[in-house]
Amino acid sequence: MLSKVNSYRKTTGFKLTFWYSAIFIASSLILLFFTYFSLKLSIRQNDHKLIQSEMEDYVADFRIGGISRLERALGEIKYKDSSGEDLFLVRLSDAKKDAVFLSIPQQWPAPDLKQLEEGPAKNKAGWSFIPSGGVKNTYEIFSKPLSPGLILQVGKLTVNSQELMGHFRAIFLQIIIPIFLIGFAGGVFLTFRALRPIRYLVNTMRLIIDTGEINARVPSGGRNDELQDLSRLFNAMLEKIEKLIKGMREGLDNVAHDLRTPITRIRGSAEMALRSEDNPENLKSALADCIEESDRILTMLNTIMDISEAETGAMLLNLQNVKISALIDEVTDLYSYVAEEKNISIRTSLQEGLQSVADRNRLQQAIANLLDNAVKYTPPGGGIDIQAFQEDQDTIIRIKDTGAGILPQELPKIWDRLYRGDKSRSQRGLGLGLSLVKAIIHAHKGHVEVASVSGEGSIFTVYIPGKL
Ligand code: ADP
């Protein structure tokens, strides 16, 4: 139980909730304290202003008409008392500190008169705070010497402001618990919401790890934030991985399937040879069959290895100046017999003296694969055009056929390892030719493109850069 609590304390959910609640509660409290103190200050400032303005009135009376006018003004206080205006304590004292005049609103408790007499330091205007008898309210008194010995004191009981602040404190105490609750609930709610994509992500990952269901996806919310982006990217990555796994599975199936045929044939030949051991001719032909089939297997495995090498950049290129027209002529010669048999014409249009820096054997392999496909997928009576020319710095080799063409949906897949078009299964092939072409041309830092219309023909174009 304790370890569960401890491990929960380490979760992001807990940390987020804690920090959100703490910041919310702390800022609410700071705000409340600030409001409380600024309210207190402004009430006090307001009281001081009232007291000082009352004092100014009396000082003005004294300046204009001396003590007699001041006494007259002081005499009017009792009328003020009943008119409900702001109330003040007013005291005038002489040199002996005896009160010449003292007025205290009747509803106020009596102040400590002794302290009132003391006042502030001699001949200096200033504030003093005097407790009122028994009650915890305080008088705020402003004392001002009018002439030597004559001191006027005007003050107010802070009863109203104390009451107000008391209310405030009571409200403060009442709302502090709701603030704590709101802060905590807000923290839990926001954390729950904010971490939802992460929870989905974790659940999906766990499902994939536990069950191997790579087709599981993270549910996507409608939001457009970073976490949602993460989910989307994660789904896109899963999509890619799923495709890759599917491709590899299919590839493996295909390899197994393609290996099974020659191996079965080898086995069949060997069995036949065993049975007719006294006939050397049969033995010879069986061995020849075995060699032929073994070569097929070797070609397939070597091609797969070559593609991997070229794709990972490990293919060593034996770069040299290659005469392109001579190379294409050689390849064309190789296929002229098959083409003739199928009644397919091969025309070449090769720029004279065209040279390129390349690995001769690899480039030949690539062109041979393209021509092999063109012959394979072109029906009898068709034609193949091979062009080679230079454009800017690039050497361009284009092989155009009037063959079966490629369906638009198959176009992006033909470069994949072991991919074979649906209609091409009747033809011999491993589905590795174009992957090898692409890998070789990429190893030369070039690229290869295809344009094809199904039923009309295809054009494969190889670009070899002038500078490698
Ligand atoms: P393979 O020829 O052994 O099937 P490739 O990798 O050479 O494998 O080609 C992949 C697929 O691309 C072929 O199965 C075929 O469907 C398509 N393809 C390639 N070249 C051509 C072409 N010249 N005409 C029509 N389809 C082609």
Please report, for the domain that includes residue 374, its CATH number. Answer: 3.30.565.10
Say what the pLDDT of residue 161 is. Answer: 66
- Res 82: pLDDT: 54
Does residue 404 have its Cβ closer than 6 Å to ligand 1?
A: yes
What atom of ligand 1 comes closest to residue 460's alpha carbon? 23
Q: Locate the ligand 1 atom nearest the alpha carbon of residue 404 and give its number.
A: 25
Closest protein CA for atom 14 of ligand 1: 420
The answer to whether the beta carbons of residues 335 and 375 sit under 8 Å apart is yes
**Assigned token pair, 367:** 């062109």
Q: pLDDT of 154-203, one tens digit each?
A: 888 876 666 777 888 888 888 888 888 998 898 899 888 888 888 889 99
Q: How far apart are CA 155 and CA 125, in angstroms?
A: 13
Average pLDDT over the chain, rounded to an integer:
86
> How do strand 355-359 and strand 383-391 relate by DSSP bridges?
unpaired
pLDDT value, residue 224:
77
Domain at 123, CATH number: 3.30.450
Residue 119: predicted pLDDT: 65
Between the CA of 381 and the centroid of ligand 1 the distance, in Å, is: 19
Position 449 pLDDT exceeds 70 = yes
Can you tell me which atom of ligand 1 is nearest the CA of 434?
A: 6
Confidence label for 351 from pLDDT (cuts 50, 70 and 90): very high
Substitution site in 307, 342, 373 for ligand 1 pocket (most atoms within 8 Å of beta carbon): 373
In this prediction, residue 139 carries a pLDDT of 85
Reported as a pLDDT band with limits 50, 70 and 90, residue 374 is very high
Among 65-69, 388-392, 452-456, the minimum mean pLDDT is found in: 65-69
Report whether 186 contacts 24 (CB < 8 A).
Answer: yes
Q: Does residue 195 sit within a domain?
A: no
Q: Whose CA is nearest to atom 12 of ligand 1?
A: 414
Query: Residue 81: its pLDDT value, please?
Result: 53
- pLDDT tens per residue, range 79-94: 555 555 668 888 888 7
**What is the per-residue pLDDT for 246?**
83
Q: Side-chain half-sphere of 75: how many Cα atoms within 13 Å?
A: 6
234 Cβ closer than 6 Å to some ligand 1 atom: no
Q: Is the pLDDT of residue 16 over 80?
A: yes
Kindly report, residue by residue over 331-344, the tens digit of the pLDDT: 999 999 999 999 99
User: What tens digit of pLDDT does each residue of 375-399 get?
Assistant: 999 999 999 999 999 998 899 999 9
Q: Which long-range contacts (CB under 8 A, 24 or more apart) does 30-33 make?
A: 32/172, 32/175, 32/176
Tell me which residue range forms the domain holding 282: 249-311
Is 186 among the domain residues? no
pLDDT over 90 at 349, yes or no: yes
pLDDT of 438 strictly over 90: yes
Joined tokens for residue 279: 């006939």
pLDDT band at 121 (very low <50, low <70, confident <90, very high): low
Is 37 part of any domain? yes
Torsion from C-alpha of 92, 98, 103, 107, nearest 10 degrees: 140
Least reliable range by pLDDT among 36-45, 100-109, 431-440: 100-109
Q: Verify that 397 and 431 share a domain, yes or no.
A: yes
Question: Does 305 map to a domain?
Answer: yes
**Of 287, 311, 335, which one is at a domain's C-terminal end?**
311
Closest CA to 33 of 181, 176, 180: 176
Sign of CA dihedral 316, 320, 323, 327: negative
Q: In the predicted model, what is the mean pLDDT of residues 243-272?
A: 83
Identify whether 182 is part of a domain.
Answer: no
Measured distance between the N- and C-terminal CA atoms of the chain, rounded to whole angstroms: 66
Is residue 3, in this structure, part of any structural domain at all? no
pLDDT of residue 159: 64
- Count structural domains, the chain: 3
Q: Closest Cα to residue 324, out of 385, 376, 392, 398? A: 398
Instruction: Name the nearest CA neighbour of 338 among 310, 374, 375, 383.
Output: 375
Per-residue pLDDT band for 110 (boundaries 50, 70, 90) equals confident
Question: In terms of domains, do 153 and 59 share one?
Answer: yes
| Final residue belonging to a domain, choices 149, 164, 179 | 164
Q: What is the dihedral of CA 198, 202, 207, 209, to 10 degrees?
A: 140
Report the alpha-carbon distance of residue 328 to residue 437 in Å, rounded: 15
pLDDT in tens, 258-290: 788 889 999 999 998 888 767 888 888 889 999
71 part of a folded domain = yes
pLDDT at residue 350 is higher than 90? yes
Contact, 187 vs 21, CB < 8 A?
yes
Band (pLDDT 50/70/90 cuts) for residue 123 is low
Residue scoring higher pLDDT (57 or 121): 57
Residue 185 lies in a domain: no
72 and 19 together in one domain: yes
